[in-house]
Structure 1
Amino acid sequence: MMRRVIPCLLALAWPLAGGIGPALACPDPRAVPARWEAATGRDLWSPAVFPVEAGGDTLLSRCGVGGRGHVRSPPDFLFDLSRMGRYDRLHVRSNADCDTVLLLRDPAGRWHFDDDSGTGRTASLSLADPADGAYAIWVGTYRGRPCRARLTLETF
């Protein structure tokens, strides 16, 4: 019996010893994003488009944030949005030749996920009454293979 307990204890202690790898990583909204942007609701009245490499090593289904797909652990973008009170909706979408997914954490700490709500295999999120604050956004792929994509933000 002792032989079974020791390997289990070692397996549990391994991440604490700094051995955490990409398979165990999950989206971390506190990590340094690949890109930081500041904008107002008025800035986003005309769609703002950002190029991004979609995908990553993190399997969302193991992370408890909802959805399936592959993203990186740090956010692809951190948007610091202000003066959003005049706008009823913030629309976020990803366009690519591959099947993309979107994961977003809003300023209140709520997670939002989408796969294929847009046209074809386009991921699309529409947030009602957007608040001022930090929006962490991950642009992933459903199958795990990376691809070039475009992230679009727009207010209505």
Structure 2
Amino acid sequence: MTDNHDIPPVIRDLLVDAEKQLAVFANALGKPFDYSLDALGRLEHVLGEAWPKPPKNPEALDILVELFGAYFGESLRRIYGGRWVTGDGLPFLQGPHHPECKLFPFPAIYQKMAHQKTTESWVVAYCIASRPNWVPPPPEKKSFFGRLFRK
């Protein structure tokens, strides 16, 4: 793992264990988990193949979400920039140029493991929102139904 002082200790500790778990899959696949975009594709594949259904034990699911969520988030941070924000609530990534750009990697991995939802849309969204010229969309003032029946 790259020595990086920008990683909060709680995330750094999770990454040590995540790397150990992913080393087993890297050996089987013959390709590394090196925090690259290609490795995120391998992570998506491994999570779907190794856990086509969520673990029956909720504690096991929580541990896997923590490990792979830390790896997922740290990969995005290394690829697109940003910083980890920890404290109250779930840790999240804040984009490199805009405080409004936030990504919560642990729920993204939970959705993958518990419901087989792809992580690709999260990667694309963080990529786009991490650009210097990105502008957050204005908040909608109308409800969902109000937007549907707009004249």
| TM-score of Structure 1 vs Structure 2, range by shorter chain | under 0.3
Structure with bigger strand share is: 1
- TM-score, structure 1 normalization: 0.24
The structure that has the greater radius of gyration is 1
> Which has the bigger relative contact order, CA under 8 A and spacing at least 6?
1
- TM-score, structure 2 normalization: 0.25
Structure with bigger helix share is: 2
